[in-house]
């Protein structure tokens, strides 16, 4: 993992986690923006570009509701996380595994390649 201080609990508890509810290849992959500070990520533009690259479905994105965070902490296993700097702050992409929604390593690698090409790792 790129940043060992980004534990599963810190990621889930301290970030708005956006996910693709339709594309199974994106299962258990999340975009994370800090809850209490500006990430510098323009989410709508980024999702538009991910869709154009075939890396996100055309369906509306969803966020993990606060009421579900405890279940996410309990049920997910953190596989990898990469943090990036944006125009005004930072954000991350995270790969988890869940028994019913395993992540796709090839898709994760495509995500990492996309974000590495468009943003700076921190």
Every domain of the chain and the residues it spans: 8-121
pLDDT of residue 3: 65
Q: Which segments in the chain show pLDDT lower than 50?
A: 1
- Closest by Cα among 104, 46, 33, 100 to 72: 100
What is the C-alpha separation between 103 and 28, in angstroms, rounded? 5
User: So what's the pLDDT on residue 2?
Assistant: 53
Q: How far apart are CA 22 and CA 10, in angstroms?
A: 26
């Amino acid at each position: 993992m790129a940043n060992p201080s980004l534990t599963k609990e810190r990621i889930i508890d301290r970030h708005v986690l956006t996910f693709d509810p339709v594309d199974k290849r994106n299962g258990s992959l999340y975009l994370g923006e800090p809850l209490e500070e500006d990430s510098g990520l323009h989410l709508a533009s980024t999702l538009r570009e991910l869709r154009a690259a075939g890396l996100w479905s055309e369906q509306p994105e969803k966020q993990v509701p606060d009421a579900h965070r405890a279940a996410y902490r309990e049920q997910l296993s953190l596989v990898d996380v990469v943090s990036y700097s944006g125009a005004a702050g930072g954000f991350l992409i995270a790969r988890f595994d869940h028994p019913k929604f395993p992540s796709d390593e090839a898709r994760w690698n495509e995500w990492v390649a996309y974000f590495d090409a468009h943003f700076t790792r921190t």
